[in-house]
Structure 1
């Protein structure tokens, strides 16, 4: 028996089985074979419209790029996921991954597959949470070296200050200058500390309009997928778990990928 004949036989058997269910049999048949078929058809049509808009804006695309084995595998993978979701946001991200491969065929298919899987399992709130962690990490990376330079200067000046204090009368002028410089640098450090603190509003659930339980679930999910890491344990005076989360290298690469495809 040919493959299509086997499929038809299986569908026929399933329809018969559903029909045997009292009261609900007809409804189940409609859901599984009629409604689901229409649903997938509509989702596919919506996705095709998104692709059409891309090709309309890029009339010079070489059709040969669409005939490669790599693109064919990726296209099949994308379509399979398109049919499984009604999310317009996910469809747009899927479209962007496909179009990136069309525009830059040298990009890694393996990375695209990993990102497709993440997109299919993460909702937009999860991605927003990742993006806020990225924003904080970027600002922190710019601020912390400057703050550390000041802290090093304060330490050196402080050591010199303590040495000179042993003979205060002799070094009174120099001690006064050191004291002024230390206080000035301490004030600058405090400004940096306040800036870093204000940047961390995203660490609270209300920043995203979530409950504490919902936010914790998101962070635990992202942690389990290797996108976030908990750096707070043992470093912030006994902070609670899943509070001082940071984006991992894998998380950065994922955001880079979807940012490049947007």
Structure 2
């Protein structure tokens, strides 16, 4: 690795234009006339937007624009705030709590949403994410057909849910040590989802989310006809250099090969 790459600065900007706090990564020697792939970075439980954007140089200094978002809820550990979370809807499989049956009638729910304007957590998250993408595209030159969701842990569950709900808006998903979230049908938009590319990378020694769980998610997605690449690594739940190298290779292949 050359010394100029080791010492080269990268630019990091935190903005408050949307409902989610965000940080951006601008590639080294940014070229305004080149349409860059955009990586929307979604941190694990207990992380934040700065943590993810600081990981970008380990992936690539030059290849991508990075948009890192902060989960909307504080994460609580041993009674204290410890970073941020994406909400109970994306909880780890072993921590999921069944939702109680709603006491409101369907008419009351519609009235509450439309008239009283009560926000829905998933709707707010989606609105915030898409708003941040729009703002980034106004500020930097991003290729509209090369937008990828990259999530770690709980962030991977968010990436799955949003990409599988809106597959036409994304080129692909990278799920790192993550899981398919509960509470929605991942293959509800099966035909559209078959154009979505998915890479799953997982630690073989991950005690929080066993690799068997990731393999099961991969089987579910492949059974629906989705193209899913899977690779496991001799590590636990941390990001490693081999993981990031393989993610970079996979992204570059999908950005340069027309299929």
Greater Rg by CA: 1
Q: TM-score, structure 1 length as denominator? A: 0.28
Structure holding more helix per residue: 1
Structure holding more strand per residue: 2
Q: TM-score, structure 2 length as denominator? A: 0.28
